[in-house]
Amino acid sequence: MDNRRDFLKKSALVSAGLAVPALSSCACLDTIRAKVPMKTRQVNSALVVWYSQTGNTRRYGRLMAKTMQKQGVKVTACDLREADLGKIGEYDLLVVGSPVFYYDAPEYVQQWVGSLPVLAGMPVAAYVSFGGPEGNQYNAACSILERLVQKQGVPVAQKAFMNLGSYPLSWAGDKINKTPWKHHSLPDRQTYGQVREYARYVLQQVAKGQPAEFSKKLTLREISTYFGPIWWTKRSIEKHYLMEDQCIACGTCEEKCPSGAIDLADYSVNREACVLCFGCLNNCPAQAVYMQYDGTRLIGFQEFLKAKKIKILEPAELKS
């Protein structure tokens, strides 16, 4: 008999399948192209920002920054929450990095881009890090560029980098022992080579003054993003709370939560506000976040790495 997750998955796919003809007939997947001329062909200074829950996207962003610095560019690289929005107009290039969550760029990233001032022809690029081979990554990166174009950014490139998945349901219950790790990709030298190459490519495209155009692809996974995947998945999480006696009050869960759903003052989790990013569970150093799925307790990314004795290779530039 199907378990609940399979049932939800199948229902979502069937609904999505039924919606394909309807959606294909409406011209909703517009081409993403510049609306204004590129303001410069010379990148003296760049801003590389990322949203990163478990460090993968951050690692790539930092490596891109180092690569651009080697090309003589002055780079500010930081979490997007730390970027000084008032100074964005001073940069010659903006690169935005994000994980793929639920087949798309997280709402939080999209809102951040929406909060930017007008970019007035600034070259922009996007990259995503993702955890599985079929995760709608291209479209997720397009979502970011789409918003940047609305802010008068001029798109030059986008790229997706495969990574170790950080989605706790993929190692839930006894799957942790059964999961064949060969199917999961750890970043290696080749991956980091691709990141460096992408950083150089972005600079080259700006130097050529060549804007790029992208169109989202109409895929089943793209369509499933219209059917509230977070809402559906949340229904399968039976328990989600903080264990007061185990908590060391370090504040990591509050800091990682993009929706303000956690309040350490009373150890509460607002499950309505929660966007099910697993940032709390994946990062708690004291295993004080309790989440239950299909009758078993979920473990977070850090514990998962320990259980599987997985060590993530750091690129040489970031070791010092």
Ligand X SMILES: Cc1cc2nc3c(=O)[nH]c(=O)nc-3n(C[C@H](O)[C@H](O)[C@H](O)COP(=O)(O)O)c2cc1C
Contacts with ligand X, residue ranges (CB under 6 A): 52-58, 99-103, 129-132, 135, 137, 163, 165-167, 276-278
Q: How far is the CB of 293 from ligand X (least distance, A)?
A: 12
Cβ closer to ligand X: 123 or 279?
279
Which one, 145 or 203, has the nearer CB to ligand X?
A: 145
Q: At closest approach, how far in Å is the CB of 7 from ligand X?
A: 19
* CB atoms near residue 225 (< 10 Å): 18
Closest to ligand X by CB, 132 or 209 = 132
Q: Which residue's Cβ lies closest to ligand X? A: 135
Minimum Å gap between C-beta 39 and ligand X is: 29
- Residue 129 or 152: the one with the smaller Cβ distance to ligand X is 129
Shortest approach of ligand X to residue 30 CB, angstroms? 22
* Shorter beta-carbon distance to ligand X: residue 112 or 278: 278
Q: Least Å distance between CB 219 and ligand X?
A: 12
Least distance (Å) between residue 197 CB and ligand X: 19
H-run or E-run covering 76: strand 74-79
Distance from C-alpha of 2 to C-alpha of 283, rounded to nearest angstrom: 31
The string over 149-178, giving b where at least 16 C-beta atoms fall within 10 Å of a residue's C-beta and e elsewhere, is bebbbbbbbbbbbbbbbbbbbebbbeebee
Nearer to ligand X, 52 or 205 (CB): 52
Please classify residue 316 by burial: count the beta carbons closer than 10 Å to its beta carbon, then call 0-12 exposed, 13-18 middle and 19+ buried.
exposed
* The residue count for the chain: 320
Q: Among all chains, which residue has been given the structure tokens 């990682």?
A: 256
CB of 284 to ligand X, least distance (A): 14
DSSP labels, 18-67: HHHHHHHHTT-S-EE--SS--S-S--SEEEEEE--SSSHHHHHHHHHHHH
Cα distances from 302 to residues 8, 57, 165, 201, 312, in angstroms, run 27, 16, 12, 33, 11
Question: Nearer to ligand X by C-beta: 137 or 191?
Answer: 137
In which region does residue 192 sit, left (phi positive, over 0), alpha (psi from -120 to 50) or beta (all else)? alpha
Nearer to ligand X, 102 or 108 (CB): 102
- As a whole number of angstroms, the distance between CA 119 and CA 147 comes to 11
Residue 132 Cβ vs ligand X, minimum distance, rounded to whole Å:
4
How far is it, in rounded angstroms, from Cα 99 to Cα 51?
A: 7
